[in-house]
Structure 1
Amino acid sequence: MAQPISLKSPTMHSQFTPKFIPKLASTLHSVHSNTISFKVLSSQAGDSSPQSPPAIISILRMIPDWADALKEQGMQRKRTLYNHEDWLQHRSSQRHIRHLLSSLSSRVILSLIPPVTAFTLVAVMIASYNTAVLMEWLPEFFPVLRTSSLPYQLTAPALALLLVFRTEASYSRFQEGRQIWVKVIAGVDDFARQVISTVESNEDSALKKVLLEYIMAFPVALKCHVTYGSDIGQDLRNRIEGDDLAMILESKHRPRCIIEFISQSLRLLNLEESKRNVLESNLSCFHEGISTCEQLIGIPIPLSYTRLTSRFLVLWHLTLPVILWDDCHWIVVPATFISAASLFCIEEVGVLIEEPFPMLALDELCNLVRENIQEAIRTEKAIGRHLLAKRKSPIHEQSPNGRPKHKTERRNRS
């Protein structure tokens, strides 16, 4: 009786980065050291000795894993906010040359090495087969693989529309994610400003400080909630007290836990009910941010649309060498390469921006809102002391040159 196949192979993770592409050859050469044990279906009992698959199979498995690992490393890279110098470089007339020279370090391009290479090899095989048939190296009953280009002329607009709609749908999700984070950051900033200006009692100073720390911690918790690979414990270690941080880490939903800290802190403040209600109304922005972010993460573009685009692209490039053979002959190889690299890049960009939050500079946004709130606290104290000192000083007027003119000065002139 045939025994079921049991295939076990060690998980191979790539540590490559675009700057170390030459190491790929040495890594592929070392793939022979990975032992892959499996049982072969056989009618002979006792024949279950481990064997190694051919090297070509191991290499074919290694390349997609390497490309995916490279893409994920790029997804987890922290983005930065643009400043004036970045915008100058962004619109520079030399950007085209710079982008072309940096192609080999683009994670989008490098992640497409497996499919583009596969379709290019298919074009090479079809061109080789047709050449062998035309040179009469094969028996006469082998036909030349050729056909009319009319089907491609008819279906090319459909493929273009698929790619355009796919990319447009992905960009709309990116735009929605960006807008909700702009709203959350603005809500956090405004909430902190209201707390700073509303809570004036000295007996609430300690609770006010803790409340501001909770408010500043919320965007960090939301960022860790919606991005893969984030370490909320590390990000909040110097922002939240140890016992509070322990309770947040134990919670199943960290952003809502911080909202509960904020809500209960507001109830403990010695405030009028109307002022407390105004402060609590700011929490609706936090809940809206959580709900929108979770919907963007949990509900992708309809999978049937993504699968249709992918299948259309695959079938298109598998048959492209046959369509172009009569007009291009061996030029079908570079033509297939250019077509696959271009169209699959467009589709890949759509897939990447479909998940918007890794594309946004959320770490810098969280740091920026924290710096703004801390600056507001320092400014509020400094301006308060300045105005208090001015209130206690003698009455003065402004002279034409902007300097104060006291009563004694005016009396002497009179």
Structure 2
Amino acid sequence: MSKPTTNFSSSPQFPLIPHHPPLSKPKILSLKPLCSQDPNPNSTKTLTLISLFTAIPDWSDRIKERGMQQKRSLYNHEKWVHHRSSLRHIRHLISSVSSRVILSLIPPVITFTSVAALVACYNSAILANLLPEFFPVLRASSLPYQLTAPALALLLVFRTEASYSRYEEGRKAWTKVISGTNDFARQVIASVSSSSDGSLKKAILQYVMAFPVALKCHLVHGSDIERDLQSLLEVDDLAVVLSSKHRPRCIIEFISQGLQMLNLDEAKRNMLESKISCFHEGIGVCEQLMGIPIPLSYTRLTSRFLVLWHLTLPIILWDDCNWIVVPATFVSAASLFCIEEVGVLIEEPFPMLALDELCKLVHSNIQEAIATEKLIQAQLKAKRKSRSSEHSPNGWPSS
């Protein structure tokens, strides 16, 4: 019996496959970045939806924060004339498109106006029999709103008044700091007359000019203290100040140590040391205003009251206004939220004050006092000599 023959070993039926990897083999590495970027398509859609909803609030917040970092200017006579001009209403109306307060209100105003439009569309569809009859018309009595309107008005007024009181307290604190700085510099210029203390006197006056700048940078977010102080302090002093955790107190320590090294009698030194207390007091008041806001429950209550009020406002006004509820809701939201927004902005007083201009004013006042010191002394010495020559030794005028 003959054995069956197989052709697998002698003459293969299939072409030989080369031993190197085939060119058509898919590269797995090329697919990994795509998989890592989009492991879950639903999450990508969710992120896109969230970013779409937050795009306008993020844009308005950027405008608001950019406005908070703008430098304010002190008023002079020309600016006061411009401020009380009869054309101010037209000017303020035209500048509404660039107002950061108004632009920051775009998200809530658009939201509540859209809700009013949806309520109007729904009620109109019900009245036109476009929806089943079991859908109710959204309407309610206006009596609850008439009863709660005075409460909302008082809440907004008290909220804004509390914010303005903080603004006023911050302004008064900086008024004391500026006046104390000018007075302290005047006392140093008048008290230190020794030529051996000339360089130390100049350094102390530089520290005095640097203190309000350091306090401003300590209070206002986004300030560049290194840029602001590099023209006032020497490089080694600036390095010590920048390495300190509390820059204004570090400059006060420079001033205090410099006073101890002056050749002064004890009475003058104690008098100058007592003047430093206004610096510490100013720091304490300003840090208290920065660290302790208006009670958060008060702010939250105002916000919740406004939101609930405008969510239900179209339902209350439907019977009397019909489609007018849309512009009525727009006007109400724009007005009331604008009052609340102003209260929130001035609650942090220091970005609202012209602190850069006040610091420049202190610098120019001290520089002017230093420049005129010798001139005034020469004038007074000349007057003293002329008066003594006009009188006789016994005190009677010479004939």
Q: TM-score, normalised by structure 1?
A: 0.83
Distance in 2 of aligned mates of 1:360 and 1:49: 48
Matched with 2:254 is: 261
In structure 2, runs of 5+ residues without a counterpart are 1-35, 391-397
Matched with 2:98 is: 105
What does 1:8-407 correspond to in 2, within 5 Å?
40=40, 51-53=44-46, 57-391=50-384
Equivalent residues of 1:163, 1:309 under 8 A apart: yes
Aligned length: 357
Q: Please tell me the residue identity of whatever aligns with 1:191.
A: F
Residue 111 of structure 1: how far off its partner (Å): 0.4
SS at match of 1:108: helix
Q: Give CA-to-partner distance per residue, 1:188-217, whole Å, 9 cap, x none.
A: 000000000010000001100000000110
Residue 137 of structure 1: how far off its partner (Å): 0.2
RMSD: 1.9
Equivalent residues of 1:39, 1:49 under 8 A apart: no
The structure with the larger Rg is: 2
Distance in 1 of aligned mates of 2:226 and 2:38: 42
Matched with 1:24 is: none
Distance in 2 of aligned mates of 1:203 and 1:252: 33
SS at match of 2:44: coil
Distance in 2 of aligned mates of 1:235 and 1:328: 57
Q: Give CA-to-partner distance per residue, 1:365-390, whole Å, 9 cap, x none.
A: 00001100111111111111233344
Q: Give CA-to-partner distance per residue, 1:52-105, whole Å, 9 cap, x none.
A: 448664332211000000000000000000000000011111111111111111
Q: Please tell me the residue identity of whatever aligns with 1:253.
A: H
Tell me: higher relative CO, structure 1 or 2? Use CA pairs within 8 A at least 6 residues apart. 2
Distance in 1 of aligned mates of 2:327 and 2:117: 9
Q: Please tell me the residue identity of whatever aligns with 2:182.
A: D
Equivalent residues of 1:67, 1:111 under 8 A apart: yes
Distance in 2 of aligned mates of 1:52 and 1:147: 38
Q: Please tell me the residue identity of whatever aligns with 2:51.
A: S
Matched-pair identity in %: 71
Q: Please tell me the residue identity of whatever aligns with 2:245.
A: K
Distance in 2 of aligned mates of 1:50 and 1:157: 46
Q: Give CA-to-partner distance per residue, 1:247-281, whole Å, 9 cap, x none.
A: 00000000000000000000000000000000000
